[in-house]
Amino acid sequence: ILFNFSASRIGGGYKRLYEYSKYFNNKNGAFFIIHPDCSKLIDEFKNNIYILKKQNYLQRLFLDFRYVDNLIKTNNSIEVYYSYGIAFNKSYAKINILHLSNILPFESFNYGKGLTQKIKMLLLSYLLKNTFKYANIISAESISTFKYVDNKWQYKYFISTNGNDDEICNFEKNSQ
């Protein structure tokens, strides 16, 4: 499994990254693409393989995923790609999971952000919505998040509560 948490370095994203790192470290490891600010995980969870990736907003906006392509080419055993709030523009593995970590891109015009931030969020919303067709699973922490996802994708919905062991049990079942 390949986790892409490269845009998450604090808050709920970091909490999920930490717990997944801990869990998979005890299960012989997994691949993680992480932000350099999270590099302390490398020393703590030695069974995992970490790739440090810092992308600026424009690189993410233009979906520069050569680093994912290269990692998958060199590790053809990766069957699951999990993206934490990062849009992607193709299928990378047998199972591709997009976790919607934040509704702000879908609601940006309802909040008092500046015009530049609103435009960024509008573009991110477009990219995320375009990702739905490549994701086998679209996860979120609450059912209310799915009101921003077209109903035609509802068969892909999965509730993934932060800190919930049920989600990890699903990984165990699929790996057996």
pLDDT of residue 106: 73
**β-pair partners for 2:** 31, 81
Q: What are the C-alpha distances in Å from 38 to residues 14, 45, 105, 126, 167?
A: 8, 12, 24, 28, 22
Cβ–Cβ contacts within 10 Å for residue 156, how many?
17
* Digit-coded pLDDT (tens) for 16-69: 999 999 999 999 999 999 999 999 999 999 999 999 998 766 776 676 788 888
Radius of gyration of the chain (CA): 16
pTM of the complete model: 0.84
| pLDDT tens-digit readout, 115-155 | 887 888 888 888 899 999 999 999 998 888 888 888 899 98
The whole-number pLDDT of residue 39 equals 96
